[in-house]
Amino acid sequence: MNPSLQDVKAIQIRVGGNPPHSCVPGVRVRDALSDQGLLRVGDTVAARFNGRLLDLEAPLFEGGDLDAVSVLSPEGLDILRHSTAHLMASAVRELFPETKIAIGPAIDSGFYYDFDRPEPFKPEDLGRIEKKMKEVRSRNPSFDRVVLSREEARALFREAGEAYKLEILDGIPDDSVSLYKLGAFTDLCRGPHVPGTSWLRAFKLLSVAGAYWKGDERRPMLQRIYGTAFPTKEGLQEHLHLLEEAKKRDHRKLGKELDLFSIPEDVGPGLVCWHPRGARVRTVIEDFWRKEHDRNGYELLYTPHMAKIHLWETSGHTGFYKENMFSPMDVEGQQYLVKPMNCPFHIQIFKSRLQSYRDLPKRWAELGTVYRYERSGVLHGLLRVRGFTQDDAHIFCRPDQLEAEVARVIEFTLFVLRTFGFQTFDVYLSTRPEKYVGSLENWDQATEALRTSLEKLGLPFEIDPGEGVFYGPKIDIKIRDSLGRQWQCSTIQVDFNLPERFDLHFVGEDGERHPVIMIHRALMGSLERFFGCLVEHYNGAFPLWLAPEQVTVLPITERAHGYAVRLVDRLKAEGLRVESDFRNEKLGLKIREAQLRKVPYMVVLGDREAEEETVSVRTRTGENLPPMTWDLFLRRVKEEMQTRKTGAD
Ligand SMILES: [Zn+2]
Ligand SMILES: [Zn+2]
């Protein structure tokens, strides 16, 4: 036994769930893990001690639970990336000593650091900074934690002229703060960090952009350098490849190239104009949506785009949703607001007559266009906009119907998403937040109903504790696109708030009034967003049933024009979206252009086809089908449309 254990009171540490183990106070995390065989070289980057993340070098003075954190875990990856941000800042300071530093956190797919420098960084500076980072790394410095009193830290950063760090210090209530030194570079930081720069083997700086200090337009504009880092070179390569792919299929770029939509400056930021080719796709989506809602027991509603302010006061929107609404307009001395949501309108229809228990559930759906104020800085193509159409529905039901209705909505959602070609879903159940309305009993019941529905459907889900909306628990279904990226689309929310605010009730079997339960749900979320997601998922090559131009007819010679006109008419009569190219151009050029438009089928017509009443078909993937009769071609196309085949199969 270690003799010192007899002098000082040992601390009890449970490592990785093993039985408690006596250690000397001040034992380093690294040694405590290593003693129990839980320090994996090249993998264990930090540790979790009683719920807190710690450096491997940190000393332990109290007992508790200790676990290794793998560099491959989400926390481990964050530590690696944030450490790379320090390395980047140290390189920036060596190259551009006049630079002031602000903050440098890890983010979803990498990290950034905000710098203040009179001269903006140029894209070519990124290469220089990267090179300097490698140079710093080759000196193999370690990340050393230093604890100072707040005053000592203030003095240090004041002397260095680091105004942003001083401002951050002002916001820290603790008496002492930690700093991390990496060679000559010191940063105010809570940690933890990788032990040394040898861990930072695979990183890449990606871009530079302006960012306001603390996101506040009134504060200085800083320069944000984005980068990413991975534990392995292979991981980094894979990610960079994915970024390249994502850039190629950015819906804003494809939207322009394929002439699908625009967001004209003269109309206003975040306000989308659908061009004919985009509108054709949207029409198909809407027609499908209406037909399937009808089949699933929904009724359709139409409601106005604005309503008296009083309605929004009753719903509570003028209180809790004020920041997201546009200013009121005055109509004959009465204030009106443009709608950010459709719910209050559906409620008015529900209240237009007495509802009996026999009338429930009511499933009412609307493709409702809503307007929400978003700061111009966060607008992004079709994904964050100011005006959009929700595929909204509200289900008014009795408490005993809740579970079945939720299950029904989930099944319907999955059917719709699968039809559009999505196969992988991440499902989240969000429970009661700290601030909430409604009784605990109602919350428990509703949360149970959501959980039971998911379980009965055998759908794996994660619980997001406390992430429900203040008015009720919810289920979010996120889709994974063809690049494996996650998109938030579907949401199913139980609401106790609006039924109470609007005094919604039904007359029960007993002749008494009973409160109604309301479910808000959207399957695609917003048509704009969903469309943007489809464009990127399919890289603009929509499956046949969605394609804005399904077939293009290309006569090779003028002699085939008459024959081509007849075919175009026939295909149109069959309900296909057909275009043709009668220009006096080379066939190769016509085919190339049709390929750029990502048309699924190109029908090439020459003398032989005209004579034999056949068609020669080329697919957009470059496959040449043997000559076939009109009927055979039509049968093929129609079958593909009916089964709504996606590009993947
Ligand atoms: Zn740090
Ligand atoms: Zn709603």
SS3 of residue 613 by DSSP: coil
User: Residue for token digits 């989240």?
Assistant: 428
Choose, from 390, 401, 493, 550, the residue flagged as catalytic: 390
Q: Is pTM beyond 0.85 here?
A: no
Q: Residue 130: CB partners within 8 Å, gap ≥ 6?
A: 91, 203, 204, 205
Question: How far does CA 315 lie from the centroid of its chain?
Answer: 28
392 is catalytic: yes
Share of the chain above pLDDT 90, in %: 86
Q: Which ligand is nearest to the CA of 395?
A: 2
DSSP string across 216-263: -TTSPEEEEEEEEEESSHHHHHHHHHHHHHHHHT-HHHHHHHTT-EE-
Choose, from 165, 277, 362, 372, the residue flagged as catalytic: 372
Q: Summarize the confidence of residues 389-417 as an average pLDDT.
A: 96
Q: Of 399, 463, 462, 472, which is closest to residue 432 (Cα–Cα)? A: 472
Q: Summarize the confidence of residues 18-34 as an average pLDDT.
A: 92
Handedness of CA 20, 23, 29, 35 (dihedral sign): negative
The Cβ of residue 18 has, within 10 Å, a number of other Cβ atoms equal to: 12
372 is catalytic: yes
Distance 335 CA to ligand 2 centre (A): 22
The pLDDT-based confidence of 16 (bands split at 50, 70, 90) is confident
Tokens of 15: 């490592």
DSSP string across 87-99: HHHHHHHHH-TT-
Any alpha helices (H) in 38-184, and if so which ranges?
A: 74-95, 123-138, 150-159, 163-170
Q: Which ligand is nearest to the CA of 341?
A: 2
Q: Which ligand is nearest to the CA of 396?
A: 2
The Cβ of residue 457 has, within 10 Å, a number of other Cβ atoms equal to: 14
**DSSP H or E run through 45:** strand 44-49
Q: Summarize the confidence of residues 375-401 as an average pLDDT.
A: 94
Question: Is pLDDT larger for residue 119 or for residue 367?
Answer: 367
Q: How far apart are CA 484 and CA 511, in angstroms?
A: 53
Distance 197 CA to ligand 1 centre (A): 13
Q: Which ligand is nearest to the CA of 391?
A: 2
The pLDDT-based confidence of 496 (bands split at 50, 70, 90) is confident
Q: Is the pLDDT of residue 649 over 70?
A: no
Q: How many CA atoms lie within 13 A of 346 on its CB side?
A: 24
SS3 of residue 647 by DSSP: coil
Tokens of 118: 């009179």
Residues 604-631 have pLDDT tens digits of 999 999 999 999 999 999 999 999 999 9
Tokens of 532: 């943007």
Residues 79-94 have pLDDT tens digits of 999 999 999 999 999 9
Q: Residue 310: CB partners within 8 Å, gap ≥ 6?
A: none
Q: Is the pLDDT of residue 647 over 80?
A: no
520 is catalytic: yes
Distance 504 CA to ligand 2 centre (A): 14
The pLDDT-based confidence of 328 (bands split at 50, 70, 90) is very high
Q: Is the pLDDT of residue 8 over 70?
A: no
Question: Which bin fits 8, alpha (ψ -120 to 50), beta or left (φ > 0)?
Answer: beta
Q: Answer whether the bond into residue 328 is a cis peptide, omega within 30°.
A: no
Q: Is the pLDDT of residue 290 over 80?
A: yes
Average of per-residue pLDDT values in the chain? 93
pLDDT computed for residue 40 by the predictor: 92
Q: How many CA atoms lie within 13 A of 2 on its CB side?
A: 12
How many residues are given for the chain? 649
The pLDDT-based confidence of 469 (bands split at 50, 70, 90) is confident
Q: Of 307, 336, 341, 313, which is closest to residue 501 (Cα–Cα)? A: 313
Choose, from 93, 224, 384, 474, the residue flagged as catalytic: 474
Residues 138-178 have pLDDT tens digits of 999 999 999 999 999 999 999 999 999 999 999 999 999 99
Q: What is the DSSP letter of 496?
A: S
Query: Is 71 in contact with 199 (CB distance < 8 Å)?
Result: yes
Choose, from 193, 362, 520, 618, the residue flagged as catalytic: 520
Q: Which ligand is nearest to the CA of 46?
A: 1
Query: Is 522 in contact with 491 (CB distance < 8 Å)?
Result: yes
pLDDT computed for residue 214 by the predictor: 87
Distance 392 CA to ligand 2 centre (A): 7
Distance 144 CA to ligand 1 centre (A): 11
Distance 426 CA to ligand 2 centre (A): 22
Q: Summarize the confidence of residues 591-610 as an average pLDDT.
A: 95
Distance 339 CA to ligand 2 centre (A): 11
Q: How far apart are CA 108 and CA 87, in angstroms?
A: 19
pLDDT computed for residue 1 by the predictor: 44
Biggest alpha carbon distance in the chain?
A: 105
pLDDT computed for residue 3 by the predictor: 47
